[in-house]
Structure 1
Amino acid sequence: MNLPAEAVNVLQAFQDLPGWEQRARLLMQWGERLPPLADEQMCEANRVHGCESQVWLVGELREGHWQFSANSDARLIRGLVALLLARVNGLSAAELLQVDLAGWFNQLGLARQLSSSRSNGLNAVLQRMRELAG
């Protein structure tokens, strides 16, 4: 499957790093770069259920391709969500269904650091994206 340009950039950045500490630092930087959601978007209707941390997600279909925005109250989760957005933004609804979340974080060298609760939370975010695109 073709990766969006942003996902290719993420992959190159993470694969060039030798260790977990550098990846963790880069992960936090990606989270800090997430554009903030407007206050009215951080409402219960946009909250993703199934995450231990609070995560808000909004999606918009533009010319057949989905663009998602998200935020979280937890720094690490915000970074992970930012990397997920890089992977999915610009995809069609059909392509969204084929995204392999575990495979993506494995490629980034981050899979071992995903606890089961974080992994479940990210799966909930991806599932919500698929519902919005459905």
Structure 2
Amino acid sequence: MRILNIQYIILGITLMLVSACSCNRRPDAKKPLVIKGLYSFGPEIKSFQECGREKEFWVTDSSAQLELKYSQMNFEKPYLPVYVEVEGVKKPSNKDGLGAEFDSTLVVYKVIKITKEIPADSCR
């Protein structure tokens, strides 16, 4: 009888662990991609335009490095574009709040490169 109770306890713990692990995996979760383009930052705008595309994205800086590195460039005026290579994901923007006027949001997880020198190719 005691062995049976222990088996039920072990089975219960195993099921809880398996279900807890699977909750963190969303089938719709996107893997971060390296994305290249122009980033502009100022008091009311955090925007990104991918190289070779016209669509503009609102930017959410989960890395806490993009805005910091932009600010360290000491521009005299806000909103001047810089070339960036970031690791992140694109997702639909929220319907209200900051960035609501953009269709999509770029969530930045890692800053790979940021420079004032904009490539002459498709990023102009």
Normalising by the smaller structure, the TM-score range is under 0.3
TM-score (ref. length: structure 1) = 0.26
Which of structures 1 and 2 has the bigger CA Rg?
A: 2
Greater share of residues in helix: 1
TM-score (ref. length: structure 2) = 0.27
Greater share of residues in strand: 2
